[in-house]
Structure 1
Amino acid sequence: MDLRIENLDIEIAGRALVHDLDLRVAEGEVVGLVGPNGSGKSTALRAVYRALVPAGGVVRIGGDDVRELSLRENARRVAALTQEGGSDFDFTVEETVALGRTPHKRGNEPLTAEERDLVRAAMQRMDVGHLAARGVLGLSGGERQRVLIARALVQQPRVLVLDEPTNHLDIRHQVDLLGRIRADSLTTVVVLHDLNLAAAACDRIAVIAEGRLAAVGTPHDVLTPSLLAEVFGVAATVIAHPLTGDPQILFALDQGAFSSGVHAAHNTKGLSL
């Protein structure tokens, strides 16, 4: 099932945060959203899982306008891991993961044996099976993140929306999670700050800057020194990964000379000598 974002505009408190955003994620494709802090990435995703009502434009899942779907049907199609995900209640890990079945149940209908197997499989997959009886409030940030991802997978969505899913995860679990996303062939849109992980995990990358789509294409097409300088304001060298050929970005910690050059260029723009 594909995801289409068409001419999306989002305003909050009278401020325009997303402008005329167009993006299609084909069925089974993994598309990464990258961009500076505050560029509108997470805001755009909130319209996909209906946490925000756009001021203009439309989000379509499988061709259907999400605003015309019931909340239950929308939740059956789309699972979201948000930055604010979590619980104020100390449910066990197993109970929390089982909540992913809620869109498929009526009232207090118990889980079927098949659904209990699904919950156990998701916990094992995210390496939290050994924590099944633990309360989620007593877990580390990384453990809790893996529990929430397992909950999203148990939902059995057609579209997976992940907002910074690698937050709090150690490098092994980061690589494992993104590798599994690729292997699952789920239609996925994911916000990532680590551009090298984005290059390795995503079929295409969409760069958001100041609420607008600045570039979209394969990692090779998008992650170039010129774009990194223009959008992120950093000097970088891009090389091919020795094993996969994916673009890998090398940064210099001392960006002082580069930053000075950028500021000087801005200050002299429009001046003639």
Structure 2
Amino acid sequence: MSTSNAKAPAALRLDRLRVEIDGHALLAGLSLDVAAGQVVGLVGPNGSGKSTALRCVYRALRPTTGTVRLDERDLGALPRRDAARRVAALTQENGSELDFTVREVVALGRAPHLRGNQALSRRERELCERAMADLDVTHLADRGVLTLSGGERQRVLAARALTQEPAVLLLDEPTNHLDLRHQIELLSLLRRTPTTVLVVLHDLNLAAAVCDRIGVLAGGRLVTAGPPERVLTAELVRDVFGVTATVVPHPLTGAPQLLYALSPSTPPGDA
């Protein structure tokens, strides 16, 4: 998606983030740089801090210490409306008990840019239509979101996030509920979207295919970060995920692809 009025992508910095809940550190000094316009993936075992890191960026969670910076500005110090104009999030908790139509939900992406009951401009209506087409939900436009499947609703929420025209787009497991075709289409769209993207993924092969850089988390800390071909090694997969894998280049793209053994190796921490 590209429009002449879209915001320029912003550089994002997670600076020594620490999150403590009941004395337990969910993040333990996490630092990560996401360059403007890059697609950066966060991967790691369950409970490693991936979703917690995203929550700190979209301000659902205040870090105990540390800051999130957007183009070197403290994101936590920005007024909420200003932050909402610059950061959009597709989260795992995105749900609604209100049966809005798909078109109405997608239009909500413009809410941070509007005042009161201000109507959408012609450009904004076109933006919504383009987002629905990009996410293959135009045929659902007049359906209520509560009648949709999980995958259909996920695509609608992704269209809403894109309609927001953010400088930074956050996605927490965006391929959940999506069939194979729509997984590939959504991730391909991320590559084309003129914004900075920080995305949490469990599928390491999808992460390798779509991400410029990958950050690997374990125990609330950054294990390593870099290009997929440097990060995704058999040794790292064994040490962090407790899985035996062979890494081969994709025959068309050269991106690393992991072939997993059926029997896992010794889980991390049990050796």
TM range (shorter): over 0.9
User: What CA deviation, in whole Å up to 9, does each residue of 1:48-69 have, x standing for no partner?
Assistant: 0000000001001121101111
Cα distance in 2 between the residues matched to 1:54 and 1:262:
27
The aligned residue for residue 240 of structure 2 is 231
Aligned residue pairs total 262
Query: In 2, are the aligned partners of 1:3 and 1:24 still within 8 Å (CA)?
Result: yes
Is 1:124 the counterpart of 2:147? The answer is no
Is 1:159 the counterpart of 2:168? The answer is yes
Cα distance in 2 between the residues matched to 1:117 and 1:134:
19
Query: In 1, are the aligned partners of 2:18 and 2:66 still within 8 Å (CA)?
Result: yes
- Quick one: which of 245, 252, 266 aligns to 2:254? 245
Deviation at 1:13, TM superposition (A): 2.9
Is 1:168 the counterpart of 2:185? The answer is no
Matches within 5 A, 1:1-273: 1-255=10-264, 258-259=265-266, 263=270, 266=271
Q: Which amino acid aligns with 2:159?
A: A
**Gap change, CA 1:217 and 1:135, over 3 Å in 2:** same
Secondary structure, aligned partner of 1:9: strand
TM-score (norm 2): 0.94
Query: In 1, are the aligned partners of 2:12 and 2:71 still within 8 Å (CA)?
Result: yes
Identify unmatched segments of 5+ residues in structure 2. 1-9
Deviation at 1:131, TM superposition (A): 0.3
Query: In 2, are the aligned partners of 1:79 and 1:152 still within 8 Å (CA)?
Result: yes
Choose 149-158 or 105-114, whichever is displaced more. Answer: 105-114
Moved over 4 A (4+): 260-263
Cα distance in 1 between the residues matched to 2:236 and 2:150:
33
TM-score (norm 1): 0.94
Between Structure 1 and Structure 2, which shows a larger proportion of helix residues?
A: 1
Q: Which amino acid aligns with 1:190?
A: V
Aligned-residue Cα RMSD (Å) equals: 1.3
Identify unmatched segments of 5+ residues in structure 1. 267-273
Deviation at 1:185, TM superposition (A): 3.5
Query: In 1, are the aligned partners of 2:14 and 2:69 still within 8 Å (CA)?
Result: yes
